[in-house]
Amino acid sequence: MNSKWILMTMAVAGSMVWMAQPVWGQELAKERADLYFQEGKLNFETKNKAFRMKLDNRIYTDLSFYLPTVSVDGLTSKPNKDMEEDDGKFRFDNGVSIRRARFAIKAELYEKWFAEFDLDFAYNEVEIKDMFLGYKFNEHISVQAGHFKEPMSMERLTSSRYLTANERPMPVEMFAGGRRLGAAVTAWGNHWWLSGGVFGQQVDILQKEKNRGSDGYGFTGRVGLSPVDKDEWTVHLGGYASYRTPDALGVEDRLVEFRTFPESRTDRRRFVRAEIPNVSHYVTYGLEAAVRWNKLLAYGEYTFTNLSRYHLENEQKIGLRNAEFNGWYATASYMILGEQRRYMPEDAEFAPVYQRRKGGCLEASARASYVNLNDFHEISSPITGGSAYAYSANLNWFPVPNVMLGLNYTFMDNDKYADDKGHITKDGKALSEVMPDGLDFHILQLRLMLSF
């Protein structure tokens, strides 16, 4: 791991331990606790309000059908090594999947400390999501360290419970960070929000491997402004930036892989995908804008990524022209029944769906998104990871605050290079040769979400 990362993490951890000293000695004191439900979540809270623990569990079940616009007969796919038998014929995975199965505990300790432990059991695997410890200097400034989301993208930071579509848009999944080991400071006021930190690797099985080399490191920050935030309407403007070096992953010359699902997860194939070797570092920038007016919410983002890379010649590093990728999305949501999501200044995002009437909330939304993973600036070393447009329409019904039934339609318009990093072929030929218009398809999805 990079020495800068070690020193910064130790400094943050040390300061947090120092701040804890005044409350040591209170561990043996017993406090009576109340048991109650708030927003459908089970809470335990002591009488003196010094300790609180809350369960935050979620189950998402998806039923998905994929309908290609052209015949896929004759197409082959890289065999799945985890299956006992796989003939290599291309086929979509229609059916039911457990998209998320989350078990989470959130805690507040000694009034100033907070922590979270969040696991996902989807696809019969255990994956660490959030696992961090934090300290609140006051109601508007906090610091935290552990494994959590980098401060990038309003859509990325918004909980999956409050998304308008089944999945986040492709450019957010591909470029806007995710959860990593790190430390960050966050501050906010009534009309502004600011967060920044240093981050290492994602928690991954590679961390158990020997000789994998040092983790990459990165610096990420986001700012959000809400010049107007009233009952009837809200305006949000924001931006984020991230500088990152790749992880070693057992090789001397580091590589980066960018990839995204086609806004559906039942079929586990990523059509837009590229593995880029010899990357020294890369930078991602993003812009956000949102407007809420009564029952209408419209928002979107644009993201841009620039990679610095090289090639080896006689064991010497020769610089190449920087590669550039980009993407965007635009979403519109109208709450037919019930109230639209409210703006949360402490998170600079739109979150809860409020229900004040029988019959719950009924929402209709639409989204267009685009991602481009092709780059031809360096003709000697082009990158053809593919590009795609996605157009979706959604109808979400919240009969009660903790249950959601969603109906989603998506059309995927892929270019000829969107071939899952060369894994989709025909007669040994690349998809770009045999299907120059790309492999396009429709997706029909039904979702049941339970949060408790």
Compute CA distances 413 → 179, 373, 438, 442, whole Å: 29, 14, 8, 9
Residue 89's contacts (CB-CB under 8 Å, 6 or more residues apart) are: 75, 76, 77
Name the residue type at position 56: D
Q: Decide if 41 is inside a domain.
A: no
Residue 297's contacts (CB-CB under 8 Å, 6 or more residues apart) are: 164, 290, 291, 331, 332, 333, 334, 335, 340, 341, 350
Q: Output the six-digit token pair for 378.
A: 């360096």
Q: Which helix or strand (DSSP H or E) is residue 348 part of?
A: none
For the chain (length 452 residues), average pLDDT per consecutive 10?
43 44 54 88 91 96 97 90 83 96 96 96 92 97 98 96 95 95 97 97 77 91 97 96 92 91 95 96 98 97 97 89 98 95 96 81 97 95 97 96 95 97 93 96 98 93
Q: Decide if 383 is inside a domain.
A: yes
What integer pLDDT is reported at residue 78 of this predicted model?
87
Give the count of beta carbons closer than 10 Å to the beta carbon of residue 316.
8
What integer pLDDT is reported at residue 14 of this predicted model?
46
Helix and strand element counts for the chain (H, E): 4, 27
Q: Decide if 175 is inside a domain.
A: yes
The residue assigned the tokens 């979706």 is 392
Q: Which residues of 352-377 are buried (b: 16+ CB within 10 A; e: fewer)?
A: ebebeeeebbebebbbebbbbbbbee
In the chain, the largest separation of any two C-alpha atoms, in whole Å, equals 73
Contact (Cβ atoms closer than 8 angstroms) between residue 140 and residue 187: yes
Distance between CA 200 and CA 185 in Å, rounded? 15
Q: Decide if 172 is inside a domain.
A: yes
The residue assigned the tokens 């996902």 is 120
Q: How many domains does the chain divide into?
A: 1
Q: Decide if 53 is inside a domain.
A: no
DSSP 8-state secondary structure symbol assigned to residue 154: H
Which domain range does residue 436 map to? 60-98+155-451
Distance between CA 293 and CA 291 in Å, rounded? 7
Domain with residue 178: its CATH number is 2.40.160.10
343, β-bridge pairs: 350
Q: Decide if 334 is inside a domain.
A: yes
Q: Decide if 332 is inside a domain.
A: yes
The residue assigned the tokens 């928690």 is 203
Distance between CA 196 and CA 217 in Å, rounded? 14
Closest CA to 420 of 65, 67, 63, 75: 75
Distance between CA 325 and CA 417 in Å, rounded? 14
Q: Decide if 231 is inside a domain.
A: yes
Q: Output the six-digit token pair for 361.
A: 């909330």
Contact (Cβ atoms closer than 8 angstroms) between residue 73 and residue 242: no
Closest CA to 240 of 311, 176, 158: 176
Residue ranges of the alpha helices (H) in 114-236? 154-157, 170-175
Residue 380's contacts (CB-CB under 8 Å, 6 or more residues apart) are: 311, 320
Contact (Cβ atoms closer than 8 angstroms) between residue 426 and residue 434: yes
Distance between CA 325 and CA 303 in Å, rounded? 9
DSSP 8-state secondary structure symbol assigned to residue 142: E
